[in-house]
Amino acid sequence: MFNSSLLTAMKSAAQKLNTPFRREVGVILVISIIAFWFAQHYDFFEELVEVSRDYEHYELDELFILLKIAGIGLIVIIYRHSLYLKQEIMRREEAETKILKMAFYDSLTGLANRNLCHDRLEHILAHSERQQTQSAVLFIDLDNFKEINDNQGHTYGDEVLKQVSTRMNGILRSEDTLSRFAGDEFVILLDSVKSITDISILAKRLLAQAALPYTINGKDMTISLSIGIALFPTDSTDPDELINQADTAMYHAKSEGKNTYRFFSKALDEEAKRTILIRSHLRKALEKKEFSLVYQPIIDSKNKQLKGAEALIRWNNPILGEVSPVVFIPIAEETGLIAEIGRWVLDKACQQNKQWQLSGYQPIVMSVNMSARQLQNDTVVQDVEYYLQTHKLAPKYLELELTETTVMQDIDSAIKRLKQLKQLGITLALDDFGTGYSSMSYLRKLKPNRLKIDRSFIKNTPDNVEDTITTEAIIALANNLKLKITAEGVETAEQLKFIEATLCDSVQGFYFSKPLTPHDFFEYLASTQAALINSDSTPIKPVGNNLTTGQQEA
Ligand SMILES: [Mg+2]
């Protein structure tokens, strides 16, 4: 009873004393109490006293015993204290390593952080200078990472960053440095690179590795990178300037459609400045009515009648002049302005198509391009429905064109939205087909009504055997899936002849017409459709066959 309550009291006292210093004091106290208790109660000490009496040095012997006890206590204290010191040193070392890691390494990926990156870059540049070699700084940014974070949450985004960095690290040499610079930005430092070709090969490998599908939390996703490259000593010898230049080149890669790499050069720098200018003017472009639509006829490849028109946006700014959609659409996507611009295009295109019908021409299908960001917008289905109703346009006269990359970004929600759009009664076309990564399984899932074969294939037909075979294979594939096919970029009689011999049902390109302004399109309709109404099947004559007008489509 007494023993158990004493034990409990000792336990609770031990718990209370559970800090290194208190514990130490506690141990010393306990040893002293035990020693004192022994000295008071055990015969062993009496015997010692007896022995010392024999020597007749009682007082001295008593002191001797006490000294012995104190000596044992002291040894125990010294031993305990050395243990305590050892633990303390280990704790400090651990804390220092932790602080060092926090100061130089990224906690999420374990990669070098911005500080260590700067440090190593200075090191590499000094080394390159001594060895008279070339080094490179690669600035890498994940494309559309913000959307992943917004849609899937930050934990998911963090997992993406970890997996991407592991893949990149896997293909670097041991002497290269991969660092997480900030957020979704990474910097790679390459010491002693032999040639620009070597850097290009590495950049391509990084893009290819990153583009392979990921499975995170049971969800499949893909991501791409944009890479900017600056070289020592060609571009600069200053570490900070090199990083800034690589960053600028990375933005150039983004504006060129992402998933690519670009080298820095003075020309690139100038263009980056222009991008900033474009960005600021783009915000006011809608308000200032600087956009317009042009329409490129789409012709039936068998009877040469007009089947439809593709609406293409143009931007004319008083300061910047004509800005190509290839330049401003990615900026509009990045800034989120695309939602508003997209709605404006839908509105105008539906209105125009209805106007042609009201003017008495045979109804045709209006094709409208839709970007990835627009498709991700929650209101996209309601928007399309709204403009069809507003302009009283039958849904079958509207076709939405999506690129492969548009739908690949978030395949599950894209499939859901596309299904809802189809339920409205409109048709869907997969644009620029053959340039993206579409697989058969995705094609089956997306179920588009039409494939538009990219102009890059048609361009070299029928002379280039490879492109001709590819084009024929795409047409065969589309036919097997019972999809309609449009050949884009038909410019010559030879190309048309080749297409006519296939099962491709419609063609689009400069051979028949360049994109026309609304006024010119009315004239085009008047000269072709009026003739059609009068005499059943007069083929449309090529008009506006001017190959020097610049960009055909975007
Ligand atoms: Mg298109």
Digit-coded pLDDT (tens) for 320-344: 999 999 889 988 987 889 999 999 9
Q: What value, to the nearest 5°, has the Cα angle with vertex 365 and ends 363 and 366?
A: 120
Determine the distance separating the centroid of ligand 1 and the alpha carbon of 400, expressed in angstroms: 9
pLDDT at 415 over 50: yes
Determine the distance separating the centroid of ligand 1 and the alpha carbon of 181, expressed in angstroms: 37
User: Cβ-count burial of 167 within 10 angstroms (0-12 exposed, 13-18 middle, 19+ buried)?
Assistant: middle
CA-wise closest residue to 338 among 417, 404, 279: 279
- HSE at residue 218, side-chain half, CA atoms within 13 A, is 0
pLDDT of res. 540 = 43
pLDDT, the chain, mean? 84
pLDDT of res. 165 = 95
Digit-coded pLDDT (tens) for 265-301: 766 556 656 777 888 899 999 999 999 999 999 999 8
Determine the distance separating the centroid of ligand 1 and the alpha carbon of 166, expressed in angstroms: 37
Q: Do the bridges between strand 306-317 and strand 365-370 make them parallel or antiparallel, or are there none, so unpaired?
A: parallel
User: What is the pLDDT averaged over residues 102-115?
Assistant: 90
Determine the distance separating the centroid of ligand 1 and the alpha carbon of 305, expressed in angstroms: 20
Q: Which amino acid does the sequence have at 112?
A: A
Determine the distance separating the centroid of ligand 1 and the alpha carbon of 519, expressed in angstroms: 21
Determine the distance separating the centroid of ligand 1 and the alpha carbon of 432, expressed in angstroms: 7
Determine the distance separating the centroid of ligand 1 and the alpha carbon of 404, expressed in angstroms: 11
Which residues, 6+ apart, have CB-to-CB distance to 50 below 8 Å?
A: none
Determine the distance separating the centroid of ligand 1 and the alpha carbon of 431, expressed in angstroms: 5
pLDDT of res. 81 = 86
Determine the distance separating the centroid of ligand 1 and the alpha carbon of 401, expressed in angstroms: 6
Determine the distance separating the centroid of ligand 1 and the alpha carbon of 152, expressed in angstroms: 29
Q: Lowest-pLDDT range, 50-64, 199-213, 246-260, 335-349?
A: 50-64
Determine the distance separating the centroid of ligand 1 and the alpha carbon of 403, expressed in angstroms: 8
Radius of gyration over alpha carbons of the chain, in Å?
38
pLDDT of res. 275 = 75
Give the containing element (helix H, strand E) for 229: strand 225-232
Q: Lowest-pLDDT range, 6-10, 438-442, 540-544?
A: 540-544
User: What is the pLDDT averaged over residues 170-190?
Assistant: 93
Determine the distance separating the centroid of ligand 1 and the alpha carbon of 441, expressed in angstroms: 23
Q: Identify the residue with better confidence: 445 or 17.
A: 445
Write down all domains in the chain, each with its CATH number in brackets.
Answer: 2-104 (no CATH), 114-264 (3.30.70.270), 288-534 (3.20.20.450)
pLDDT of res. 12 = 66
Determine the distance separating the centroid of ligand 1 and the alpha carbon of 310, expressed in angstroms: 7
Q: Which of the four pLDDT bands, split at 50, 70 and 90, describes residue 255?
A: confident
Give yes or no for a contact between 370 and 406, defined as CB atoms under 8 angstroms apart.
Answer: yes
Digit-coded pLDDT (tens) for 359-408: 889 999 999 999 877 888 889 999 999 999 999 999 999 999 988 766 66
pLDDT at 7 over 90: no
User: Cβ-count burial of 91 within 10 angstroms (0-12 exposed, 13-18 middle, 19+ buried)?
Assistant: exposed
Please give the model's pTM, rounded to 2 decimal places: 0.55
pLDDT of res. 239 = 95
pLDDT at 78 over 60: yes
In whole angstroms, what is the distance from residue 479 CA to residue 489 CA? 20
In whole angstroms, what is the distance from residue 463 CA to residue 40 CA? 113
Q: Which of the four pLDDT bands, split at 50, 70 and 90, describes residue 414?
A: confident
Determine the distance separating the centroid of ligand 1 and the alpha carbon of 554, expressed in angstroms: 6
Q: Which of the four pLDDT bands, split at 50, 70 and 90, describes residue 109?
A: very high
Torsion of CA 528, 533, 537, 540, to 10 degrees: 0
Determine the distance separating the centroid of ligand 1 and the alpha carbon of 311, expressed in angstroms: 8
Q: Identify the residue with better confidence: 527 or 349.
A: 349
pLDDT of res. 350 = 97
pLDDT of res. 45 = 56
Q: ω before 518 within 30° of 0 (cis)?
A: no
pLDDT of res. 538 = 40
Q: Lowest-pLDDT range, 141-150, 258-267, 299-308?
A: 258-267
Determine the distance separating the centroid of ligand 1 and the alpha carbon of 454, expressed in angstroms: 9
